[in-house]
Chains A and B, each alone.
Chain A
């Protein structure tokens, strides 16, 4: 059995998905379009988690996925997750799903919150009126989850649910149903007709009708009649009104209020007075970001990272003697490859895993509280001056963790141009894979000011991102439709289980990706610098890698790091930014001597700083380039993104180095 999980944004869909699915969850592609979907296994089959949506008819990329899945995905039923504290708004989507006619179970989440606010829902009555199974539950207390799972064992066929839309619309529905290719499935055809009348243009891409022009004519005539007879100001508005009347009746019949005290709301509004205050709120935001930063890099993360570094120092001699026992020669190829190549390269990145883990954990907690919505509001006015949207802040902050999910998170931005603009500047947000580069160079060159130097990278990244957004919005991305409307969810205490699960997933993903790339990368890299055109390279300088690096090195001369070693690390770093550090360690001769070697090669702190800035900005990693192409479906745009970041990186590093050497 396969079920689709559908609901409004912020109704706890992912929590329920996590609670229900026993084993996580592979990520696959939706039929027809290549967008990731989450699939979880549960007792009676599979669950497919769809993005949150207010309506079946899509007004952003995310919502298009829902229409697409309803029609093309192979499934046995729908689980409609409903926020019981916002029943009136949530039921608009439910009605569209009920009209669709497939087996459906409605899960009323947050029942505990509803009861706390002094209200109660008559589930039996609701179930009877909507002609579907209804289960009350709470993802927070886990109450009712078991009932929901039991319901899914056997959903069976569904009684048909029909809403009467008034004479004018019903006539149009009849006419449209007559034009459908497959006249047998009445419920589906009626649903399609309603969706067409509602203005769901995307639906016409999925189905075939006998006479598309006729369809358009019917819609136009219907809309004209609605306006002429003063039913509503638009056809969609009229359909909305009929649904709202139905929902209001249902609400009054099934919901009882026993006390009218709503404490949460009062508390919320009191907190919001400070959080969204134009000045204090902004400082709170900065404080939160700095706290994340210092917890990750200074207080907590550093100690754990140092401990892991020491662990590796213990492991390397052990591995050495172990290899000797196996019969490897002291200076042999194998020894060299494993100790100075793979192990040294791995340890260079793995020591940063605790820091990255803390970062992901903190981001997950903040996401769970509802704070990001407030930040989006607070920064909307500021960001709109840069051609962006308050909603851009969520992908931008996510980008600090990893650029790849950040680019996918832009799907919530409804305006196409604002979305592309956000995608273009995300690679400037310093992701966790760049941490090793900073960590390594800062500890060699800026021992005493490590935290400040690394912090400056994040600031440079953000400033460059905003400045580029401004430039682009004045030139290529003019005239965005500039819309912003946001539902404000109440504050919630994030569930520990969810937070840990999310962190674990992202961290495992990082380790897996890094592990794969690093292992492969170091081996290839090691060979390139071990071998030269004349066989085994006598010195580093006659290796293949040196030849490649030397070719590009002059390009980087004005930036302060025109050596083949730096150039080839950057080339390798395009695969994954973690590899910059790995390759530097390998090129500079292994764990024990690289620090000294780097100092003699870079010479000054300013060229090291310029190198750090360049690795921050220069190219999105291969995975990011891949996801940019996947999301935009445009090769031109992807190439533009790559070229644009490279040019910006070059300019910024050039200025930093050239200005820097004037003073030092």
Chain B
């Protein structure tokens, strides 16, 4: 039992080192491009938002029946979106988030 302890401790330490190295590596991989990727992801989300709210904006969308139930889930993001688009308040009369 006592003979195992240093080995167990060593493995534990190695595992911690490996995890730390992995974290540093991940930071090295993502740091330079964090902003560009966040922007790209946001653009994708904006497109998705447009799909979900297209009918309310007057664009016919055959999938409205299905996207309707997503609207409450997107409430927070919708708020962020219209603020990002330069509109201080919700542009949709019947979808007031603020």
Partners in one complex: no
